Amino acid sequence: EADIYQTPRYLVIGTGKKITLECSQTMGHDKMYWYQQDPGMELHLIHYSYGVNSTEKGDLSSESTVSRIRTEHFPLTLESARPSHTSQYLCATSVEGEETQYFGPGTRLLVL
Amino acid sequence: QQPVQSPQAVILREGEDAVINCSSSKALYSVHWYRQKHGEAPVFLMILLKGGEQKGHDKISASFNEKKQQSSLYLTASQLSYSGTYFCGTESPNDYKLSFGAGTTVTVRA
């Protein structure tokens, strides 16, 4: 069954720690996205990728970085977590040539 | 650059109707509608491509006015399951990604 997986689902971590949020998909989609969403608020695009070795920054400035070494994997890394990074992070995918996006379950991050 | 949604929130009783609007300052190629229930990820509802088409999904339908650069989502005879936050995502020509509105929270009460 084609799906989008995000791990961890919940993460509580101290300031200054390095963290990597994982996103994997079995959809076979070329395009992948990372969004940041505060509770009850809008979705902000922070990174996206059109395929392997392609990464772009989104509309919202972010201190995170991403990589796309494999089609199915699009991890997001925070080198030094801060309380301002507390949010929900959603990964999404879409097919090349289409913009309909399919979202993963999200990772809720709390930085103390 | 992000589309503007209105209203911000609406409260309905079962069976009532509602309209959610999405307006953009940019020319649009397509409009996507998503619904997000509390604590869950957004789920795709429908896409409207330029051409002024109207689509339906159960008793939820939408229209797209390309010239006015706006789309409306119609909730007809609302059900409890319609509760959630509705987001429109707009795609402009040569943009190849979506910009999402701030969302409209819909609460349907028995």
pLDDT tens-digit map of B49-90: 876 666 666 789 999 988 889 999 999 999 999 999 999 999
Q: Do A101 and B30 touch (CB under 8 A)?
A: no
* Mean pLDDT to the nearest integer, B9-15: 96
Is the model's pLDDT at A13 over the cut of 90? yes
| pLDDT for res A83 | 95
Residues 6+ apart with CB under 8 A from B38: B84
A27 close to B (CB below 8 A): no
Task: Kindly report the length of chain A.
Answer: 112
Is the model's pLDDT at A51 over the cut of 70? yes
End-to-end CA distance of chain A: 37
| pLDDT for res B98 | 85
- Report the alpha-carbon distance of residue B35 to residue B51 in Å, rounded: 23
| pLDDT for res A100 | 83
- Residue B12's beta-bridge partner residues? B108
Is the model's pLDDT at B1 over the cut of 80? no
B41 close to A (CB below 8 A): yes
| pLDDT for res B52 | 60
Is the model's pLDDT at A98 over the cut of 80? no
Is the model's pLDDT at A61 over the cut of 80? no
- Report the alpha-carbon distance of residue B98 to residue A41 in Å, rounded: 16
Amino acid at A22: E
Task: Give B92's pLDDT tier (boundaries 50, 70, 90).
Answer: confident
Is the model's pLDDT at A34 over the cut of 90? yes
Q: Nearest 5°: phi and psi at A83?
A: -55, -30
The sign of the CA dihedral B54, B81, B7, B40 is: negative
| pLDDT for res A97 | 74
A89 close to B (CB below 8 A): no
| Chain A residues touching residue B44 (CB < 8 angstroms) | 100-102
- Could you give the percent of chain B with pLDDT greater than 90? 64
